[in-house]
Amino acid sequence: MTVSTLDPDSDTLAPWSIGDGGVELRGRGPKCPEGGAVGRQWVRLGVGTTGGSVEQIFETRPQRRYVCRFRRWVQSPPGPTVPLQIVGPGFSVLMQLPSDGTECEPPIAASSSVEFDAIGEFSAIRFAYGGGPAIWSVSIDDVVIVPVEDCDGDGIVDGLAIIDGMASDTDGDGVPDACECRGDVDGDGTVDGVELSILLGSWGHAIPETLDADGDGVAGGADLAMLLGMWGRCSR
């Protein structure tokens, strides 16, 4: 799971690489005196006839499906839509986005997303705006790349649920705690003799994290008690 945001205290566009055009760092506070939320920063891809593009490389897994979600500000008069192109491994999407007002007015930007199948271990995602009428502009921020997985079947991608605070992930592995099967080492959804053999064979020594009930890193009585208490079922 990868999230790309901009440091509110930074004056650079890192980690984005600039492709062309009128790309600049925008925000509220000092850069938008009439707005609220001092320090909110964005990558503006261009304004008026001057467009621009930015690109960032994300770590992915080949043959795995991902969703790329991003926040965007689109400034234009009500009515017309503004084009934003998203290009990645094996795909090119042209979105026609409605106006969000100005960068300084709305408290929360709208979100858009696109799904894609990763080809390699790294995926370059490029956002491009080709320019338009004088007062049009497109800005982006909070670009998120997460696998398209929904372990609990609630219709919300797991990674997005974690990022948005709708699901907890105490071990930071990108899987909601509600879907974790504590004690299941071989991934078959059950706790049985396989796990017991591993635990007893490692007694007093290092054990897999999923068997480590008390977090001390070694097999002991607390770990055995947890395993026996979960015997034959997945902890969900």
User: Could you tell me how far CA 224 lies from the centroid of its own chain?
Assistant: 36
- Token digits of residue 52: 């621009």
Write down the pLDDT at residue 56: 93
CATH class name, domain 181-229: mainly alpha
Q: pLDDT for 23-37, tens place per residue?
A: 888 765 555 544 334
**What's the predicted TM-score (pTM) here?**
0.73
Nearest CA to 86 among 145, 41, 25? Answer: 145
Write down the pLDDT at residue 34: 44
**104 and 28 Cβ atoms separated by less than 8 Å:** yes
pLDDT at 57 over 70: yes
Fold equal for 2-148 and 181-229: no
**129 and 45 Cβ atoms separated by less than 8 Å:** yes
**pLDDT confidence tier of residue 107, bands split at 50, 70 and 90:** very low
Q: Is 35 exposed, middle or buried (0-12, 13-18, 19+ CB in 10 A)?
A: middle
**75 and 137 Cβ atoms separated by less than 8 Å:** yes
Write down the pLDDT at residue 35: 38
**CATH number for the domain formed by residue range(s) 2-148:** 2.60.120.260
Angle of CA points 15, 109, 18, to nearest 5°: 25
**Domains of the chain, residue spans:** 2-148, 181-229
